[in-house]
């Protein structure tokens, strides 16, 4: 399932766009936070897209995250015309950081107390980005 801004670039004039691809492990329907989504900043000075992904536990650790992120990144570069894509895992999320690094993302820096967790406390996030041409070659 793909929804939101969609291919073809017909809505590039909007201030921001977003889309969803899924489900992953939702039994054939969108399942809460599970899936992969993107948002777009379309201010010409800062234009880029950001990705967020959440796999069901039984789909994790098999390369699906790396593959899904790479697939969406390719779509955002080739179909949406972006030159830069960001992703912002928790700084302590070693599995996510490893997965995104293998797709070609590089660490930019730690965003301190960036995201409030289930424990009610703010935790650090790691900003990572990927430029056109840096996507890992075999993905
Ligand atoms: C983060 C997520 C998308 C990664 O996708 P994935 O399919 O599980 O990850 P991949 O299989 O592509 O890659 C994981 C890598 O991390 C490694 N890894 C696993 N657990 C690890 C750990 N605790 N510490 C370090 N590396 C770890 C794996 O060995 C693998 O590396 P390898 O291919 O060199 O062996 C997925 O785990 C997920 O959805 N998690 C829950 C939600 C979440 O954290 N989302 C992140 C929001 S930005």
Q: pTM, whole model, 2 decimals? A: 0.85
Ligand 1 center from residue 39 Cα (angstroms): 22
Ligand 1 centroid – CA 108 distance (Å) = 19
Phi-psi region of 83 (alpha: psi -120 to 50; beta: other; left: phi over 0): alpha
Q: How many CB atoms lie within 10 A of CB 22?
A: 21
**How far does the centroid of ligand 1 lie from the alpha carbon of residue 7, in Å?**
28
d(Cα 71, Cα 105) in Å, to the nearest integer? Answer: 13
The answer to whether the CB of 25 falls within 8 A of the CB of 31 is yes
| Segment 98-123, tens digit of pLDDT | 999 999 999 999 999 999 999 999 99
Domains of the chain: 18-131 (3.40.630.30)
Tell me which residues have their CB closer than 6 angstroms to ligand 1.
52-55, 60-66, 87, 89, 93-96, 98-99, 102
pLDDT for 29-74, tens place per residue? 444 467 999 999 999 999 999 999 999 999 999 999 999 999 999 9
Report the chain's C-alpha Rg in angstroms.
15
List the beta bridge partners of residue 36: 21, 53
């Amino acid at each position: 399932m793909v929804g939101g801004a969609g291919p073809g670039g017909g809505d590039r004039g909007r201030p921001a766009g977003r889309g969803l691809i899924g489900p992953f492990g939702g039994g054939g329907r969108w399942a809460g936070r599970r899936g992969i989504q993107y948002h777009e900043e379309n201010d010409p000075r800062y234009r880029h897209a950001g990705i967020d992904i959440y796999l069901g536990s039984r789909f994790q650790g098999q390369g699906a995250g790396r593959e899904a992120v790479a697939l969406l990144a390719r779509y955002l570069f080739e179909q949406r015309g972006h030159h830069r894509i960001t992703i912002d895992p928790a700084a302590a999320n070693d599995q996510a950081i490893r997965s995104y690094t293998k797709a070609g993302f590089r660490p930019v820096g730690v965003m301190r107390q960036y995201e409030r967790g289930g424990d009610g406390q703010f935790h650090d996030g790691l900003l990572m980005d990927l430029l056109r041409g840096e996507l890992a070659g075999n993905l």
